[in-house]
Structure 1
């Protein structure tokens, strides 16, 4: 079988199983590796001092490969935003609708990936400050939030008993994402902040989102 035909068959079988093909998984992993390398450099050096060449070197790829995945430096972090929401979606799917939303969100921060990314809290906070002060990065952060609403909405629909495209689910999805963004920025700019998971719990309690049930 020719390589092209094999890849096509692999993609078709994976699609039938409802998950990415091995080729797509490798691409997603490469995008994440680029994003994590960029996140570290942006946090440690700042946006202006970080170059595309530096990101590519840190990710262990060529410049040509970088530009295959990212049109520009400011696009490098986008997969990280999507992956964070993807983790929350996975955790929501693993918990019953009766579980308090704050407990589910908290559980999303104790996954191996989340703990690794938040292990250096000072660096994570520096990155969020960069995201908030560099217009090009902030624009992509907010745009990614809008795009990921479609992924999060189905996971939250069961908590209202309403259709996924209903006003209630749209409002709930927007509220959760906005609570996450505002809390993240608040956490990043405090001199001695609480743990992010604790702040997020406070935010959900204040918005009374924990009271929502199907």
Structure 2
């Protein structure tokens, strides 16, 4: 029987395209974080990424859309991790464990990616273009979570419970990153994103027997 969580094979061309998009996204995020989105042009992003402007527009319609791959890359990694949860694990516990793994980077490169996402989110409030991209990603993430959690919870799970679990997980991760972005630093006593996410998951799933931790 085929593994429902197995990832489809990706061609070399598609992998290269995805890597190029991610490289552009990182360049865009750094510029937006440093200057603010209004002060950055598509030409600036293309130059920072080492590509021509025509190549930039081959991948993205607007400068704001260029950051989407950076955000979705981390989300997709989280969803793959969540999909690998041991069968029988209570949903809330699965969400907590996967949130901690996603938001506590064990390698310097992973931590730098989290920091860049945090710095980018500081540029989002008040910028309509970036807000539109952010909210679209948030909405798409909920739908992906519904599909992932539907498989984990099984065919007999109440669709409302599956949706509630997806809303809880999505909201918790969003609040964790946004709160971390708003509070500013990694000094002693500052809230850590993983702790914020776990707190939100526990609060949002409290009183829902089908989602309770063991």
TM-score by length of 1: 0.79
Counterpart of 2:111? 115
Counterpart of 2:4? none
User: 1:26/1:172 Cα in 2 relative to 1: closer, same or farther (>3 Å)?
Assistant: same
Shift of 1:90: 1.3
- Residues 33, 123 of structure 2: 8 Å contact kept: yes
Distance 2:156 2:172 in 1: 22
Distance 2:82 2:106 in 1: 13
Of the candidates 182, 186, 192, which is equivalent to residue 195 of structure 1? 192
Counterpart of 1:66? 56
- Residues 179, 193 of structure 2: 8 Å contact kept: no
Q: Tell me, what secondary structure is at the counterpart of 2:61? A: coil
Distance 1:26 1:165 in 2: 40
Counterpart of 2:202? 205
User: 1:46/1:96 Cα in 2 relative to 1: closer, same or farther (>3 Å)?
Assistant: same
1:18 pairs with 2:16: no
Distance 2:75 2:35 in 1: 26
Counterpart of 2:123? 130
Distance 1:92 1:111 in 2: 17
Distance 1:52 1:206 in 2: 41
Counterpart of 1:94? 84
Distance 2:147 2:156 in 1: 9
1:32 pairs with 2:26: no
Of the candidates 151, 167, 171, which is equivalent to residue 178 of structure 1? 171
- Residues 165, 205 of structure 2: 8 Å contact kept: no
- Residues 153, 164 of structure 1: 8 Å contact kept: no
Distance 2:195 2:213 in 1: 22
User: 1:138/1:165 Cα in 2 relative to 1: closer, same or farther (>3 Å)?
Assistant: farther
Gap regions ≥5 residues in structure 1: 1-16
Could you give the per-residue CA deviations for residues 130-164 of structure 1, whole angstroms, max 9, x where no partner exists? Answer: 11221211111111222233332232224533568
- Residues 99, 173 of structure 2: 8 Å contact kept: no
Could you give the per-residue CA deviations for residues 154-184 of structure 1, whole angstroms, max 9, x where no partner exists? Answer: 3222453356892221222122112222232
- Residues 65, 133 of structure 2: 8 Å contact kept: yes
What is the root-mean-square deviation of aligned Cα atoms in Å? 2.6
Gap regions ≥5 residues in structure 2: 1-6
Could you give the per-residue CA deviations for residues 4-46 of structure 1, whole angstroms, max 9, x where no partner exists? Answer: xxxxxxxxxxxxx822211111111111111111111111111
